[in-house]
Amino acid sequence: MYDDHESNHMGDSSTWDAVHNYFSCAGRQPYDKRLIAADSLMHDFPDSALALVEGVCRDSLTAESERAYRDLLFTQARYRCYITRACHMSIRPVKNK
């Protein structure tokens, strides 16, 4: 799925794959179509993916899993666009229930 250059840049690409698989499991409620579109654009057009994700207001998402998916896509898009920041508000601790 990833070429050698990206694998070296991304580190362990299987981490992204595992998280993506978790959020796209069958039987879960459908996610906002903009998030799904951003996910499909992430590899080839991360700047477009970032623009889509930024257009989704986190507070408008009702399910915690959907907010987590948005945050994951936002973080991944920023990373792929080489936008880094030592501390970012979208990285939040996960609550165990």
Round to whole Å and give the CA distance between 14 and 84: 21
Q: What confidence category does residue 84 fall into, taking pLDDT thresholds of 50, 70 and 90?
A: confident
State pLDDT tens for residues 11-33.
556 666 666 666 555 456 688 99
Structure tokens at 11: 């580190």
Domain assignment present for residue 85? The answer is no
Tell me the residue type at 51.
A
DSSP the chain: ---HHHHHHHS-HHHHHHHHHHHT-TTSPPPPHHHHHHHHHTTT-HHHHHHHHHTS-GGG--SHHHHHHHHHHHHHHHHHTT---SS-TT--PPPP-
pLDDT-above-70 percentage for the chain: 57
Q: What is the mean pLDDT of residues 26-50?
A: 89
- The answer to the question of residue 21 being in a domain is yes
pLDDT of residue 3: 45
Asked whether residue 60 is assigned to any structural domain, the reply reads yes
How many residues comprise the chain? 97
Domain count, the chain: 1
How much is the mean pLDDT over the chain?
Answer: 77
Q: What is the pLDDT of residue 21?
A: 62
Domain with 38 in it: 4-80
